Amino acid sequence: MEKGADIKELIIVRHGEPDHLINNLTGGWTNSHLTDLGKKQALQTGKYLAELIGDRAFGFYSSDLARAIETSELIAEALPKKPVLTPALRELNNGVAADLSNDDAAKIMNPITQPLVDWYPYPKSENWREMSMRVIEFLDEVTDDLALVVTHGGSANAAIVWWFGLGIGQANIAFELDVCSVSRFNVNRWGERNAIKINDTAHLLSQ
H or E, element range at 84: strand 84-86
pTM: 0.95
Domain that holds residue 40: 10-202
Per-residue pLDDT tens for 95-137?
Answer: 999 999 999 999 999 999 999 999 999 999 999 999 999 999 9
CA 11/CA 43 separation, integer angstroms: 16
CA 155/CA 157 separation, integer angstroms: 5
Domain assignment present for 36: yes
CA 167/CA 144 separation, integer angstroms: 23
Q: How many domains does the chain have?
A: 1
For residue 83, the domain's CATH number is: 3.40.50.1240
Per-residue pLDDT tens for 18-52?
Answer: 999 999 999 999 999 999 999 999 999 999 999 99
Amino acid at 103: D
